[in-house]
Chains A and B, each alone.
Chain A
Amino acid sequence: MSRGIGASTQRPDGLAKAAGTFVFAGDLSEPDMLWGAVLRCPYPHARLVALDVSPAFAVPGVVSVLSSHDVPGRATYGLDDPDQPVFTSDVARFHGEPVVAVAATSLTAAREGCAAVTVVWERLAPVVDTEEALVGPPLHPDGNLYRRIHLQKGDPDVEGEIAVEQSYVIGTQDQAFLGTEAALAMPDGKGGVLLRVATQDLHADREQIAACLALEPEQVTITLGGVGGAFGGREDMSLQVHVCMLALDTGRPVKMVYSREESFLGHVHRHAMRLHYRTTADRDGRLVSQRARILLDGGAYASTTGPVSANAATMAAGPYVIPNVTIDCYGVRTNNPPSGAMRGFGAVQVCAAYEAQMDLLAAAAGLDPLEVRRRNALSTGETLATGQVVHSAAPVQLLIDTVAEMPLPPPWSGAVEDLPGGPAADPARVRRGVGHALGFKNIAFSEGFDDPSTALVRLEVDASGRTQALVHCAAAEVGQGFVTIVEQIVRTELGVDEVSMLDADTLIGPAGSTSASRQTWVSGGAVQLACAAVSQQLVQRVATASGVPAASCLLRDGLVVSPEARLRVTLAEALAAGPVEAERTFRHRKTSPLDARGQGDAHVAWSFVIHRAVVDVDLDLGTVRLVQLATVQDVGKALNPLSVLGQLEGGTAQGVGFALTEELALEGGFVIHPTFSEYLIPNAVDLPMLQVVLVEQPEPDAPFGAKGVGEAPTVSSPAAVMAAMRAATGLPLTHMPVRAEHLAAGADVPWATR
């Protein structure tokens, strides 16, 4: 099949997106629709002393004003541990915590309604330092420790002759998806609610919404609204319960769309971390021990800090063979905004630390940075820090060798515009640096979590006589291209060119979250299983009708054939008796929880990746120019090479942003820069064209051998850029993202406590 697996086919929604007809959640509207808005706590920690919502009703256009007293069911929500209030009832624990929701005939009126509400706050001292929070008084009845993981492999007292030790501070990154949070909710007329929303996991939203609304899950019907990017930031709920409550209260459709500022305040961020590492090796640079203490700033509510902590702990030693590993990892509650999922999910921050350690080790051992990595590289059959044996493809050695062969860029051209500081720069004060980083990312949910996906495939002849396949699956398309590979899988499996997808909704079983690089594997697997079942039914039908043994028939290239019986039936002929459909559920292999020593077969599989960054740094201005970026990634099998390239380029860009500019500035718990003027994501001139080599070693467990590719690029790219800046400046650069004042040579600027 020419447009099947392995082809760089186009996105089915591409032209609609380019021509502006694709409907994003924020584009939805209904007749008689109201607009919703939310009033938020302006402080990181405060007691709600008094709340009077009545003035809001005096604002023309305001129809409904709801607060904590109006929540019909569970007062809190959350993916892992439902500890986050729908609305503040007593104490607000972060800047931006919702207090009141208003529905009105216009967005302006809804916002004016919020502004009219009278709130009396008693400000409380915020705790924003993880070390302080760990030993301080509880900020919540559940205490300040979300999770502690102690991981011990080998002998904690054994060390090598060479030791390197360093502390690292990682700031808070935001997903900064362009399409802000948006949803439209309507009463279903039977006491339930219909919700169209931009989300990553329809069924997880449904469970949480139903609990808060005191409805059965079946009374909450969710359809995916067009999603303007996600990157983890839509795995937790934001406006879902509020907009549903407003719709049920008013009996009318209600739409909510966040402003950019609300988006920064209203979704979880990547965890800030503090890490202390001590790495030892023998005189040949072979690792003997890795010891780390890691503090994750989980912010005010649990979100996914538990599993992010597990990822950080289990991947803290890097993709290396190390006999002795001791990791102490703490997920801590503070009065910073809640932290949760973002592309890389705990693997990104530890990579920045363990790769910096490898460079320190290389220097101490007098080895080339790539050589020290080669000597310690993980491979299939080796044992991880968790005691888990790597059963999957682990071409780490090959990644290192391949990137080493990729050509380096020419030296500075002599053109002023190619200097990091432009015309202001003194060329004599510009230094070039080359840095490498190796990383890995687990694929799908870990620690014994059951995260299956279900898909339905129906093969039919439509009204116009065209043979087509219809696919129904609740997997959220957030831009990654699941809809593209579904078409390819169906074409390859059933030999039918026309494939269309029903809306992703909760009328079919769960597909789990579009996160953890898992949908290609798990939902792709469900589509493949359903196709196989359809194929089998069709073959059986043709065999029975023709009086031929079914075992002699097969579906190939859109024909049911039996070479022995000289049978040849087209799909259209076989489907004349009616459509064929099948629904199937796919599960990845079982994993197990971590034991008290952090040991266990916790992960399904990993994708391995290396980046090389080449930078020019202006030592006076502290400005950086990315001269070249190269990457080699273990992808298993590229189902759509163009899509894979897009994931690698996009994921790398987010990693580059994290190293250079992307820091959600927090001062005493206040989000001080919730705008695109101050939270700077890379633009087109900030990035060179990425040099890419894909390593394809099919993964035995995975459908078509494909590993999820979305997250790995974000894991190692920040560490590589940091390494290149260290190489250029000779500075330790232990804080990420770096700031210009840290790069300007001679400047001794302390890192502001945030």
Chain B
Amino acid sequence: MTLRLTVDGVPYEVDDVPPSANLADVLRHHLGLTATKDACYEGRCGSCSVLLGGLLVTACTVLAADVTEPVVTTAGLGSVEHPSDVQGAFVEGGGVQCGFCIPGMIVAATDLLERIPDPTEDQVRRGLTGNLCRCTGYGRIVDAVLAAARARTAAP
């Protein structure tokens, strides 16, 4: 089947997609948009977290054929040259090691700060339970999210 979807503001039309394809596979394999990772294919690890119509989802558990709203990945939130505040906070704060979980983690943290602009440490931890990280033990990630929140709150 042919799918039309918008990813990070760019419209795509993609042919020959199996009807059963999930959004993670369409992003990575059909569109070559590898900013979104995959690590479990059962919605457990959060590596493929994206915003779909503004809602945080794991792309591997979304049927691609159902996608009608725009998709935002970490690549749509910022770039190496112009990182988002959350992306910058992760790097400055030592939240990145191997980095495989980080694209999904950034999307989840960005969503968290939209919902809770000034979270406590506990709220950050609860907000990130859907995203597994094997390298960091979460300490630097949690601190990075708190630092990003503080910077936003302090900004005029």
Shortest A485–chain B CB gap in Å is: 13
B residues at A contact (CB < 8 Å): 18, 28-29, 32, 34-42, 44-45, 47, 73-75, 77-80, 83, 87-88, 90-94, 96-103, 106, 121, 124-126, 128-129, 131-142
Measured CB to CB, the nearest residue on chain B to A8 is B94
Main secondary structure of the interface of B (DSSP, over half): loop
Contact residue among B78, B100, B137 (Cβ-Cβ distance under 8 Å from A178): B100
Contact residue among B77, B96, B129, B139 (Cβ-Cβ distance under 8 Å from A683): B129
Shortest B47–chain A CB gap in Å is: 6
A residues near B96, Cβ cutoff 8 Å: 11, 13-14, 17-18
A231-B102 in contact (CB<8A)? no
CB of A15 within 8 Å of the partner chain: yes
Contact residue among B34, B74, B138 (Cβ-Cβ distance under 8 Å from A687): B138
Cα–Cα distance between A214 and B40 once the two chains are bound (Å): 35
A229-B135 in contact (CB<8A)? yes
A residues near B138, Cβ cutoff 8 Å: 649, 653, 682-684, 687
Residues of A in contact (CB 8 Å), total 58
Check A685/B35 contact, CB under 8 A, given A177-B98, A653-B137: no
Cα–Cα distance between A472 and B36 once the two chains are bound (Å): 29
B125-A684 in contact (CB<8A)? yes
B129-A685 in contact (CB<8A)? yes
Map CB proximity to B onto A618-645 as digits: 1 under 8 Å, 0 otherwise: 0000000000000000000000001101
Measured CB to CB, the nearest residue on chain B to A260 is B40
Check A689/B134 contact, CB under 8 A, given A645-B139, A684-B141: no
Chain A, 168-191, CB within 8 A of any chain B CB = 175-180
Contact residue among A17, A22, A689 (Cβ-Cβ distance under 8 Å from B139): A689
In the complex, the 9 A-B pairs of residues with the closest C-beta atoms, listed nearest first: A20-B35, A479-B98, A17-B99, A653-B137, A228-B100, A14-B91, A649-B137, A27-B34, A676-B44
CB of A219 within 8 Å of the partner chain: no
Check A690/B137 contact, CB under 8 A, given A180-B39, A260-B41: yes
Shortest A549–chain B CB gap in Å is: 45
B residues near A18, Cβ cutoff 8 Å: 74, 78, 83, 87-88, 90-91, 96, 99, 102-103, 106
Cα–Cα distance between A175 and B134 once the two chains are bound (Å): 9
A residues near B135, Cβ cutoff 8 Å: 229, 479, 646, 650
Measured CB to CB, the nearest residue on chain A to B39 is A178
- What would 15 A/B residue contacts be, using CB atoms closer than 8 Å? A16-B80, A18-B90, A18-B106, A19-B74, A19-B78, A20-B36, A20-B73, A21-B79, A24-B37, A178-B37, A178-B133, A642-B94, A642-B140, A676-B40, A684-B138
A residues near B97, Cβ cutoff 8 Å: 229, 479-481, 646, 650
Shortest A356–chain B CB gap in Å is: 24
Contact residue among B35, B90, B137 (Cβ-Cβ distance under 8 Å from A650): B137
Measured CB to CB, the nearest residue on chain A to B93 is A642
Cα–Cα distance between A29 and B33 once the two chains are bound (Å): 11
Map CB proximity to B onto A17-35 as digits: 1 under 8 Å, 0 otherwise: 1111111101101000000
A20-B137 in contact (CB<8A)? no
A654-B134 in contact (CB<8A)? yes
B139-A690 in contact (CB<8A)? yes
B36-A11 in contact (CB<8A)? no
Cα–Cα distance between A243 and B92 once the two chains are bound (Å): 38
Contact residue among B29, B41, B126, B136 (Cβ-Cβ distance under 8 Å from A649): B136
